[in-house]
Chains A and B, each alone.
Chain A
Amino acid sequence: MMLTQKEKKVSRSIVLILAGLFLVLWMSHETLAQGKEVFPSKTVTIVVPWAAGGSSDTAARVMAKHLSEIWGQPVIVVNQPGATGVIGSLKLAASEPDGYTVGLLSTAVQTTQYTSPNPTDRHAYTYVIGAYFEPFTMAVKGDAPWKSLKEFVEYAKANPGKITHSSSGAASTDKLVAMAFARRSGIQLPDVPFEGYAPAVTAVLSGKIHSTSATLANLAPYLKSGDLRVLAVSSEKRLSEYPNVPTFMENGVNLKWINWNGILGPKGIPAERMAAIQTAVEKVYAMKAWQDFMTTSFIYSFPLKGDQFKTQIDKDDPVLKEMIEGAGLMRAK
C-alpha cells in the first residue's frame, strides 16, 4: 500500500509533532541544571518492596504526596514486590546512591537476611530516617472465653494442640513473634500460614482459627465492631488508644518486638543529601495530615535517624536471629 501524497504529508506532520512533544517532555525530565544544584532537582523515587494497596505502600504514597509538595518535584512510588520484600530490597541496595532513589523498607529486610534463600544484607543500606512502627498483637475472636493473656496461656497448657494460630505467611514477622510467645510461655501453638494478613484475620473472624498476631491496622475495624479482641501488644509500652491492653512484657512474657518501617537508601548516599531528605521528611511528620493518617492507620512514630537508626537495627539483630532459629526458619545459604 503506497501512501498517497496527502497521506505522506499528514504522517510527516504527525511524526514531527510527536517528535517535538517527545523532545519537550524528555528535556523537562532530565533537567540540565547549571551551576550548583538544589537537591532534589528532579523526580525522586520511593521504592516499596510490596504490592500496591498494602500498609507500607499506603504510607509511602501519603509521604510521597507531601514530600512532592515540600520539594516542588515529583515524588513517585514504585512497587517492586516479590519474595516477601527481598526483590525490591535487593534492587534498592543495587541502585545509584545519589539520593534520588530511596525505599520504604521494614523489619522484613532484617528477617530475610536469615529466612530467604536469596538473603538481604542490612549493612548494604544507608539508614536515612525511620517512618513508623507497628506493634504486633495477640488477637482472638470477640466472643472467645479468654479475657486475658493469662487465661489464654492456661487454656493452651491444659489443652495442648487444640488452639490454632494464623499468620500472614510461613516466614513472616508476625509468625516469628507468635512462635516466640509460644516458646516463652511454654505452650503449643500450631501456626497456620495464610497468604497475607487479610485471610489470616478472616480466619479468626470466622472462628475457624483461634488467634492471630496481626498488626493493629489489620485488626482495627474489627476491634471497633467487637468482632475481635486484643489480649496483648508486643510494644514496649501500652498504646494510648488501648490503655486496657497490657503488653507481653507486663504479662511476664519476655517479648517485645515491633515492625518498623523506615526510609532507607543504597549505601553511600552523600551526607548533605541525606540531611536534606531527613529535614523534608521531618516536616511531613509535623504536618497534621500525616498525624491524622498515623492515627487512622494505627501506626506510631519512629523518628530515629542516621546512625541512631542503624545502631538500633544492629542491636536488635541477635534477638531476631534467635526468634528465627527458634521457629526453625533459617534458610539463607
Chain B
Amino acid sequence: MLQDRIASLVFVVLGIVVMIESARLSLDNIHNPGPGFVPFFLGLFMVILSFLSLMAPDKKVRAEAFWNNWQRGKSTFFIFAGMLVYLVLLKMMGFYLDTLCCLIYLIKLSGGRSFKRSILISIPTMIVIYIIFGRLLIIPFPRGILGI
C-alpha cells in the first residue's frame, strides 16, 4: 500500500509541475491553443487521476514496497549503477570498449560463473558486432580517447 501511495503522490507532484511549466508557455484559448494548452490539461488530468488512485488504491499490488527487499533487489541495483557508469564513460572510452566492459559486467551479474568466462564470451561477441555493424553496415559508433 505504501508504495502505491508514494507513486500516486509522485504523479500528483509531476502533474502540478507540468501545469506550472505549461502555464509559462502561454495557454491562449481553445480556438487558438498556445503551446502550453495541451500539456496544461494533461497535467490537470494527471493530478485528478492521481488523487483518485490515492483514494482507491489498487488491490492487486503487493503489500510490501519493492525497494525494501535488498536480497532480491541487489542485482537490480548493481545493473542500474552499471548503466550509469556506462553512460558516463561512453564519450571517453568510445563505444566498443565501453560496451565490451558493459557486456562483461552484465554477464557476470546475470549468473556467468566467473569474470574469466565473461571475458571469454564478451570479446568474440564484440568482435562479431564490430564486423557486422561496424564494418558491414557502417554504423558510425563513436570512438573514444584512445581512438578505438
Q: Which residue of A lies closest to B139 (CB)?
A: A78
In the complex, what residues of B have CB within 8 A of residue A74's CB? 138
Q: How far is the CB of B102 from chain A (nearest CB, A)?
A: 19
Q: Which residue of B lies closest to A2 (CB)?
A: B113
Q: How far is the CB of B124 from chain A (nearest CB, A)?
A: 5
Interface size on B, residues (CB 8 A): 11
In the complex, what residues of A have CB within 8 A of residue B83's CB? none
Q: Which residue of A lies closest to B128 (CB)?
A: A18
A53-80 vs B, Cβ < 8 Å mask (1 yes, 0 no): 0000000000000000000001010100
A203 to B31, CA, bound (A): 21
Q: Which residue in B120, B123, B131, B147 is a CB contact (below 8 Å) of A21? A: B131
Interface: A280 (CB within 8 A) = no
Interface: A208 (CB within 8 A) = no
Interface size on A, residues (CB 8 A): 14
Contact check, A22 vs B127: say whether CB atoms are below 8 A apart: yes
Q: Which residue in A11, A15, A25, A78 is a CB contact (below 8 Å) of B131? A: A25
B118-145 vs A, Cβ < 8 Å mask (1 yes, 0 no): 0010011001101100010010100000
Contact check, A25 vs B140: say whether CB atoms are below 8 A apart: no
A25 to B130, CA, bound (A): 9
Contact check, B123 vs A15: say whether CB atoms are below 8 A apart: yes
A11 to B120, CA, bound (A): 9
Interface: A29 (CB within 8 A) = yes
A76-108 vs B, Cβ < 8 Å mask (1 yes, 0 no): 101000000000000000000000000000000
Q: Which residue of A lies closest to B123 (CB)?
A: A15
Contact check, A22 vs B140: say whether CB atoms are below 8 A apart: no
Contact check, B135 vs A18: say whether CB atoms are below 8 A apart: no
Q: Which residue in A14, A19, A45 is a CB contact (below 8 Å) of B140? A: A45
Q: Which residue in A21, A30, A76 is a CB contact (below 8 Å) of B127? A: A21
Contact check, B127 vs A19: say whether CB atoms are below 8 A apart: yes
Contact check, A22 vs B131: say whether CB atoms are below 8 A apart: yes
Interface of B is mostly: helix
In the complex, what residues of A have CB within 8 A of residue B120's CB? 11, 15
In the complex, what residues of B have CB within 8 A of residue A29's CB? 135
A33-65 vs B, Cβ < 8 Å mask (1 yes, 0 no): 000000000000100000000000000000000
In the complex, what residues of A have CB within 8 A of residue B147's CB? 30
A74 to B120, CA, bound (A): 33
Q: How far is the CB of A93 from chain B (nearest CB, A)?
A: 16
In the complex, what residues of B have CB within 8 A of residue A19's CB? 123, 127
A45 to B147, CA, bound (A): 16
A311-328 vs B, Cβ < 8 Å mask (1 yes, 0 no): 000000000000000000
Contact check, B124 vs A14: say whether CB atoms are below 8 A apart: yes
Q: Which residue of A lies closest to B113 (CB)?
A: A1
A45 to B138, CA, bound (A): 11
Contact check, B127 vs A18: say whether CB atoms are below 8 A apart: yes
With A11-B120, A15-B120, A22-B130 already in contact, the answer to whether A76 and B135 are too (CB < 8 A) is: no
Q: How far is the CB of B48 from chain A (nearest CB, A)?
A: 31
In the complex, what residues of B have CB within 8 A of residue A15's CB? 120, 123-124
Q: Which of B106-126 contact A (CB under 8 A)?
A: 120, 123-124
In the complex, what residues of A have CB within 8 A of residue B123's CB? 15, 19
Those 10 A-B pairs whose CB atoms lie nearest each other, nearest first:
A22-B127, A18-B127, A78-B140, A18-B124, A76-B138, A15-B124, A25-B135, A14-B124, A22-B130, A25-B131
Interface residues of A (CB under 8 A from B): 11, 14-15, 18-19, 21-22, 25, 29-30, 45, 74, 76, 78
25 A-B pairs, CB-CB below 8 angstroms? A11-B120, A14-B124, A15-B120, A15-B123, A15-B124, A18-B124, A18-B127, A18-B128, A19-B123, A19-B127, A21-B127, A21-B131, A22-B127, A22-B130, A22-B131, A25-B130, A25-B131, A25-B135, A29-B135, A30-B147, A45-B140, A74-B138, A76-B138, A76-B140, A78-B140
Instruction: Using A21-B131, A22-B130 as known contacts, list a sample of 18 further A-B pairs with CB atoms less than 8 Å apart, ordered by residue number in A.
Output: A11-B120, A14-B124, A15-B120, A15-B123, A15-B124, A18-B124, A18-B128, A19-B127, A21-B127, A22-B127, A22-B131, A25-B130, A25-B131, A30-B147, A45-B140, A74-B138, A76-B138, A76-B140
